[in-house]
Amino acid sequence: MLFDASCKSFPQTAAPLRPADIPAQGWQLLADDLAYPLAVLKRAALQHNLAWMQAYAKRRGVHLAPHGKTTMSPELFRMQLSAGAWGISFATVFQLGVGVQAGVRRSIIANQVLSPADLAGLCALLHTHADLQVWFLVDSLEQLRLIEAWSVTQPAHKPFDVLLEIGVAAKRTGVRSQEQALALAQAIAQSPAVRLGGVECYEGNAAIGEPSHDVVAVTELVRRVLEVTRLCDAQALFAKEEILLSAGGSAVFDLVLPLLTTSGLSKPVAGVLRSGCYITHDHGHYKRYLQLVEQREGLTESLQPALEVWTQVQSVPEPGLAFLSCGRRDISFDIELPMPQRLARSGVRRMEDTVAAPPDWRITQLNDQHAYLQFDPAGVVPAVGDRVVLGLSHPCTTFDKWRWMVVAEDDGRVVGAIHTCF
């Protein structure tokens, strides 16, 4: 992998670099060595989050299969696996292919697979990598029939391992009723094209960030999934010697633990938590959800924001309004607008000389390349050339805007980089 001037924010005057060459460049965030906007991963927070989430999963007796769609970064996949992850989850066969190249050998595709091209691609990956284990989701007889029709044309292929998905009314995919779920599980168990490995749900469909609602709604979903699991187990529909039960896990991961740690079935259970956003966390959406987890669990420490976008004030055309060099093509805005975190005045070269962004500063609008920063003209006023560090909500939709991101120490030294494969 080479980083060069075709990567946004890479210095136009620098020669192409391998990741291993980057620390030797001596780049410093506060020295304006890299162009703005600049996506930055904070190394210390990243390492903290990797260790914290893995320790949490181990302590609660579940496996961790981080959702790779969040970052689509081979370097971060390898970091998660090295930290002890059971596997990496994905949303598509394409994403799985990227993961396999990075060394992933156990994966859940937390989505339906049904097109001939995707089935053929998955079949090829499984054939090429004999040690690769993959499960994907099935939620309808129609999907099952499409898989079976394709498999008839591929007599040499082995049955795919699948999970029965249980859904939430008016939300995303997944079987809606117990009757539908059991009928589909029976059809899967009788099919020569697939093998039923377990049951899956995405609890994020049930949560809204309101404590009294979330506990009731997610608990009810867990109850439904467990009831279907017990019925399937009673009818000996699961194909392997271990039943795989899986749920999401970026927002209310504590509430699905009763599902993932259930007992009393005829076979052992492998509970797999598919948290994705934990690796960088965020400054808004997931921060608020995590505060509720902290309250429910009595946690004294948890995840830390590890991703931010550095910008420069490029214009202050009128009192109370400044424009930053960052827009919709650079940072998340699908859940809420970015949030100013720190101010580094032009010329400041030490992190300890930066200050927290004033509480009245607000990003009120994004264009393709501009962020509208509103401020109180009677308070702290940004100047052209100042640096403003932005926090964000929902890291997934910042990662997909960058081909690379630098990794920096807390003092601003750039010590590495990762690349993405969207």
Give the CATH number of domain 19-43+305-419; options: 3.40.50.920, 3.40.50.720, 2.40.37.20, 1.20.1260.10: 2.40.37.20
Strand 339-344 and strand 160-166: the pairing is unpaired
| CATH class assigned to 66-274 | alpha beta
Strand-pair category, 339-344 with 387-391: antiparallel
Per-residue pLDDT at 157: 84
pLDDT value for 90 = 98
Distances (CA, A) of 384 to 193, 241, 323, 347, 355: 63, 64, 9, 11, 17
Task: Report residues of the chain scoring pLDDT below 70.
Answer: none
* Tens-digit pLDDT profile for residues 298-350: 999 999 999 999 999 999 999 999 999 999 999 999 999 999 999 999 999 99
Task: Please state the domain extents for the chain.
Answer: 19-43+305-419, 66-274
pLDDT confidence of residue 414: 98
Relative orientation angle of helices 178-190 and 141-152, to the nearest 10 degrees: 10
DSSP 368: S
- Tally of CA atoms within 13 A in the half-sphere of 343 that contains its CB: 19
Of 198, 183, 186, 298, which is closest to residue 247 (Cα–Cα)?
Answer: 198
pLDDT at 1: 87
**Residue whose structure tokens are 């054939």:** 127
Which pLDDT does position 327 carry in this prediction?
98
pLDDT of residue 119: 98
Query: Quick one: which H or E segment has residue 45?
Result: helix 43-60
Predicted pLDDT of residue 140: 98
Residue range 153-199, pLDDT digits in tens: 998 789 999 999 999 999 999 999 999 999 999 999 999 999 999 99
SS3 342: strand
CA distance 27 to 414: 5
Which string of DSSP letters, residue by residue, matches 148-181?
HHHHHT-TTPPPEEEEEEE--TTSSSSB-SHHHH
